[in-house]
Structure 1
């Protein structure tokens, strides 16, 4: 089965609600009985009869549409979510009445929301400096501060503290410890995260501890917190300063190395230290451990997790990661989610060296395909090969434009001016909307948006020369390329775009 997803399969939204899903089933039942053709097709697609559709049959359809084989399986999954769900606090809420210990513990820790960042940790450090005794009032604050002596006092007074959830996040002390980023600041004190971790694990803290962020099925575990990283980047969601040592302690204590959220959060960068450590402890092997038993098919298997990592690494030309995954036995032959093998996808993305590596390590040589070859040569900036392919296959350029209309967006993010010039000469639309994080034609942003967001002045100027329209708004944030430049603080790009606007105004 093609697989390429770093996240779980079921299609449930954040914080799914059983009553809401029951309502969907009742609505479907009424629609079918009322003669609605689309509703009937949904039922027939699952091999069920539409005549006198029962509520249980409608519930089965809803369950299957959300990736579950039955309604009881869906209900069991929602029960598990209810037990482990965690919703981060509203960053805009008024916390003026919050006790200092709670406020400190909340500010010190990553929440995986837009509120994360150095400003919060700096504020936590100032709060600790002003209220140094707060670590004695709260074991969760003591853990966030990595204050070993304070934690010892809390455990001496009540040994059950090691496993008790509390504080502003409703987490155990060990969770506060590994999610804290206080030591990323100049804070008054010398915390001992490793000593605290050993103390808490020795007192019975669970190395499998985790929560389901907004009820989504991939758990945020202790390992996730130790390794850090994520969609907001290394400045706002960094790893713990002692990430590898903390992770090793957790793995020695029994944490499962096949941690899907860790793999997802860390895949955006090029650092593979987390993978090397996790492979040392059996990443990709076994049955998925405690969380797979809890979540069942809602969670990828360890092998599927690594296939997702391979797909991402191939897409983003992370050759060292592809080699590391291949060396540890990850399947490089089976097609990924788009039906292409890793080697075929590497060719399409303009990475001939990676194609050669994959073929040398067991992948089949991609079958001749002038359209795919032309796309790859264009994105690789190989003008000579592009010319040869166009001469030999006169219709290949039209096929390439039809196969990947937003290639210019991908080139702006990954390939640079050479590839963009070639694509423009081949007739690709410089204003096409697409995605730059994955090779998809989903209409998110233009190449100019991407270049402006990256602060790439040379690419911005080239795109404007090629006819990019700075007035186009992206489909996610409704912003222009100038808005993107301002949001990311790229003054040089902003100046280049304003120069064009002023020139056009003068010409008018």
Structure 2
């Protein structure tokens, strides 16, 4: 999948939108039903539809009061399109999300108002969401998913579902080739096309994509057969990203040795971001050895690079501006979380993000450094999850002990699952309650 949205250039300029307005006017005049629906959504029924009207529709679709405001916005910045993370979700799901959000806006939910102000320019200074409309809620959902308008979100969603169906059919057709991969049949694999080799590598990157096989940190198939596929495939970006998010340590190592670029963003982030968000510390270490991308306070902390963490602060202890050039969002990499509320520029929030990811990956020296410099052990920059919540899934008793010693409260419940530290422990280790790590964590949290 491309890392750009299908119908937008990487850096659209005003001429692009002028042409889109002209196209809308001509389509409306020709009786195009989609164009008529767009116009009706903003202007209602129209006997005359001028170019200025088309420009106004585009501005409104992007959340602006007027074409003049929209034009000024486009001319003031080059808009780089973020990566989509859609995987075949029906448009109706997003419509339902927009309806729920509209209800939250109408009842004055503070978080919903914060989202409205962040993503709908004409409401940027609003103190109340009472006048918000359905199209505003839709625009918020689209912007949180990386799309400039609702229309483009729906269009891309429909295409992504078709693409997903095609990929599933391709995997079904490659059933025998998958068997050849498992058996190490290099001769059969050598006859594949570059596209087929890439599909098999993508399948190998996921724990259960190959029928009847559960893959883990080990490669799980004959290395020589994988090397045949690596020699034929032309794009290793997607396999690397999925291997990183799946914790396929040895496969990540092979992909990197074969020349896969760890700095490419796809499916919501770089391979490193995917590995960090999914808690795959061994993969994080592998990727960090090749370069930390993106370079920011939270990634340095997740990688355990205390030297780089320190370098994010000036001599007076202030946070340097480039420390926050990238911000984490678990929804970007499909870790099963909703989009966070729009992040603020508050240095305490930025530091808190780095702190919890250091806890997540067991980087005790970084955690201790933050605590020594005034970070509260119960800081919860998003999802209401404290350092304890983050440290438990990875099985980091040394971090849990340190947090408790510094006053962390194990009774705090997160915002999403409404579960305290003990509940998280039971949930994560329910299938292996006698695990030595689980026992140690129980002892620590119980005494805490």
TM-score (norm 1): 0.44
Higher relative contact order (CA 8 A, sep 6+): 1
- Larger C-alpha radius of gyration, 1 or 2? 1
